A and B are shown apart, each in its own frame.
Chain A
Amino acid sequence: MPILWLFLIVLAIAAVGYVSGRARALQSAGGDSRNLHSLPTYYGANVALKAVVPAFGLLIIWLLAQPLYVSSQVSEMIPETSVKEGSSLSLVMAEVRRTADGLNNAVAAGVLSEDQARNARADVTDVTQRLKDAGQVVTSEITQPVLRAAQSYRAMNSTGYAIMTGAVILVALIGAAISWFQTHSDYRARNVVEQGIRFLLLAAASIAILTTIGIVLSLVFNTWEFFKLYPASDFFFGTTWAPSFSGRGGASDLGIIPLLWGTFYISLVALLVAVPIGLFAAIYLSEYASSRVRSVAKPLLEVLAGIPTIVYGLFALLTVGPLLLDVFGDNGLGWMKAGTAVMTAGIVMGIMLIPFVSSLSDDIINAVPQAMRDGSYGLGATQSETIRQVVLPAALPGIVGAILLAASRAIGETMIVVLGAGAAARLSLNPFEAMTTVTAKIVSQLTGDADFASPEALVAFALGMTLFILTLGLNVFALYIVRKYREQYE
């Protein structure tokens, strides 16, 4: 709650600043707004912005930095001896944090008084009992060092927040005051506000980019950890995927080749389904369909794109798999052993990609100038000749781009594979066998009780990094092709 209050206080300062800044500007111009450099609202906005932006900036930085600082301070208090065999400092710190939260909740519930929660000589068993009575911490016994650490953790946090509240309000007041004194009829408030708005928009854009960089960095560090434990050559060139979770370390084969092969094979089947159907649908919609058919059919086709992939997965598991099994299974041609197979996942994934391909291609075909079609019709070409020889070649770069984007979606798809393709990592050419992909294995390596120090869990990051680089490359290539050929006409 205090942060919400702080938030409202800063906003209130800004509101007061707005009104008073506007009034001061008008007063300095002798009440006539025509004598001002900028509109009166700009003077108000100038004061408000200078109150809000630095204050909130400080607030955000403080909220990010304080937990880091407090944790590092508190973890120094924990003696080596209290870290048990097979445990780690980070696990003890997690317990400290849980205990501190428990103390907070207990105080809020009225089970503990504030003094008792802070009392450094408090009896451990008594506090533990009280916490348990209050419905907090039930997992393990609280030890003396953990309780002490938790208490100082609480104390440091509450002082930290108190200082933060004061500092933020102070910064808001100073900002408002400085800009209020600056306000004068000659002051170029409009230019300053425009600059400020530009800066805010820039900040919003950089947050998106910084997040991407953050994601990549987190992948990179964990991938690095993995390659310290497991040789890179075995990972990239190993042809068996057999992680063992029972015997930790050394016993696992973590070769990426079978997973990449599965990814490639399933994506290939998906594209073989999606590209012809999607492209033909796009050609029909953009060239043949009347505007009435188009206005109904296009949104209907795009509904396919709105279906969650897990639902497609169910469709693969319950409908397509058994259907294929009837035809290709033991009762039919005898090629298929179970409903989960490359074909099942590939076909369903292809259906998922149809609207993706058709919608993008439709836009691209529509962008081919009507003059091209007229020129061809004027020479006595039929509609299909025109499409085949003029429209499609003109739209080809864009269509290739659409297909590559669809391919990178196919490579990244997970749920359909988990439900439709089975879980066996296998190097095989038979599309009716179960296989699995990189994404599906990332999920299975990280679900359950994952120990983030073992190569079996860390391999997920190496897999994710490989996948990221593959799809990034594909996307860059797609954009390059689209850009390179875009200016062919017009």
Chain B
Amino acid sequence: MNDMTRVERAVDSKDIKINAKKVQVYYGDTHAIKDVDVAIEDKTVTAFIGPSGCGKSTFLRCLNRMNDTIDICRVEGDILLDGEDIYDKRVDPVQLRAKVGMVFQKPNPFPKSIYDNVAYGPRIHGLAKNKAELDEIVEKSLRRGAIWDEVKDRLDTPGTGLSGGQQQRLCIARAVATEPEVLLMDEPCSALDPIATAQVEELIDELRSRYSVVIVTHSMQQAARVSQKTAFFHLGNLVEFGETGQIFTNPVDPRTESYITGRIG
């Protein structure tokens, strides 16, 4: 957190992409998320930090309605994407997820070739008119995923044969191939070694120029390195939300300070 980046952060004032108001999430009888208000800005990396089980992943999965696949999960409150309620009955979760992409904690390439992994999204959404266009999308996405040079000669080999870090970058390439507006990342580096982590972090910083990125992480150093805004969750509550520099240097809430200094967690 040197002064230069803090200055840069101060200048980056952007439109609100996702606005969540009074969000409540219940798993059966458990009240997992309580009254969370977050405004996620466009072309910004927002980090969610907090101890295990604090609800940060659950909240992330609300943003593209991945929680719909869990029977007992219930979401209340408003989550607006570009001013439209994503939990409105008229919104098709399938279309929403095309706009709000997701990268998961464990790399999960499909048991298909590298090419087919990346082409999966464009194919199901009909983004390419012909093979040449699809080839172009695949190459562009793999380049954005910073993995093109490593795999360009073996696009027809299985994606599961790559190393862990490569797999995760492939998953990121797969997610950007559908041209999402927001990219959600659920602890994308927790299964990776430091070198692969550095590569993915660099990639996240590049992605910021086109997308709004929301990242859940257990590593506070990572949050400090890659994000401009940070939200601290504790026991289902949003404790503090603000500029990353301010959260890490001058937290308002005593719980945030305790967590950052390692006293709770």
User: A: which residues have CB within 8 A of B?
Assistant: 290-291, 369, 371-382, 385, 389-390, 393-394, 488-489
Contact = CB atoms under 8 A, between A and B. Distances in A.
B79 to A, nearest CB: 17
B112 A379 contact: no
Interface in B154-186: 158, 160, 171, 174-175, 178
B64 interface: yes
A389 B66 contact: no
Contacts of A380: 94-99, 101, 121, 124-125, 178
B108 A379 contact: no
Contacts of B110: 372, 375-376, 389-390, 393-394
B223 interface: no
23 contacts: A290-B71, A373-B69, A374-B69, A375-B109, A375-B110, A375-B174, A377-B66, A378-B97, A379-B97, A379-B98, A379-B102, A379-B121, A379-B124, A380-B94, A380-B124, A380-B125, A380-B178, A381-B120, A381-B121, A385-B124, A389-B120, A393-B111, A488-B111
Contacts of B120: 376, 379, 381, 389-390
A98 B58 CA distance: 80
Contact of A378 (B106, B111, B175): B175
A295 to B, nearest CB: 13
A244 to B, nearest CB: 57
Contacts of B71: 290-291
A378 B112 CA distance: 17
Contacts of B174: 375, 379
Contact of B97 (A369, A377, A393, A488): A377
Contacts of A389: 110, 120, 124
B134 to A, nearest CB: 15
Contacts of B175: 378-379
Contacts of A290: 71
B248 interface: no
B26 interface: no
A140 to B, nearest CB: 72
Interface in B59-95: 64, 66, 69, 71, 94-95
A183 B192 CA distance: 58
B148 interface: no
* Top 3 A-B pairs, shortest CB-CB distance: A380-B98, A378-B102, A371-B108
Q: Chain B contact residues (Cβ within 8 angstroms of A): what range?
A: 20 to 34
A488 B108 contact: no
A380 B178 CA distance: 9
Interface in B167-213: 171, 174-175, 178
Nearest to A394: B111
B259 interface: no
A418 to B, nearest CB: 44
A118 B82 CA distance: 108
A239 to B, nearest CB: 45
B101 A371 contact: no
Nearest to A490: B160
Contacts of B112: 393
Contact of B108 (A291, A372, A382): A372
A13 to B, nearest CB: 61
A483 to B, nearest CB: 16
Contacts of A291: 71
B27 interface: no
A236 B8 CA distance: 85
Nearest to A489: B111
Interface string B107-128: 0111110000000110011000
A401 to B, nearest CB: 16
Contact of A379 (B69, B106, B178): B178
A375 B112 CA distance: 13
B204 to A, nearest CB: 17
Q: Is the interface of A mostly helix, strand, loop or mixed?
A: helix
Contact of B94 (A371, A372, A382): A382
Nearest to B161: A488
Given A375-B108, A378-B175, A379-B102, 9 more contacts: A371-B106, A374-B104, A374-B108, A375-B109, A375-B110, A375-B174, A377-B69, A381-B94, A489-B160
A291 B108 CA distance: 25
A379 B116 CA distance: 13
Nearest to B96: A380
A271 B95 CA distance: 38
A387 B49 CA distance: 34
Contacts of B111: 372, 393-394, 488-489
A377 B99 CA distance: 12
A379 B117 CA distance: 11
Contacts of A376: 110, 120
B242 to A, nearest CB: 28
A376 B103 CA distance: 11
Nearest to B171: A375
A488 B108 CA distance: 12
A371 B95 contact: no
A290 B108 CA distance: 25
A382 B120 CA distance: 12
B32 to A, nearest CB: 18
B37 to A, nearest CB: 25
Nearest to A390: B110
A287 to B, nearest CB: 11
Contacts of A377: 66, 69, 97
Contacts of B98: 379-380
B101 to A, nearest CB: 7
Contacts of A371: 104, 106, 108
Nearest to A487: B160
A382 B68 CA distance: 12
A376 B108 CA distance: 10
B104 A378 contact: yes
A372 B112 CA distance: 11
A21 B145 CA distance: 73
Contacts of B104: 371, 374-375, 378
A108 B174 CA distance: 86
B258 to A, nearest CB: 33
Interface in B10-53: none
Contacts of B94: 380-382
A291 B99 CA distance: 30
Contacts of B102: 374, 378-379
A379 to B, nearest CB: 4
Contacts of A381: 94, 120-121, 124
B214 to A, nearest CB: 13
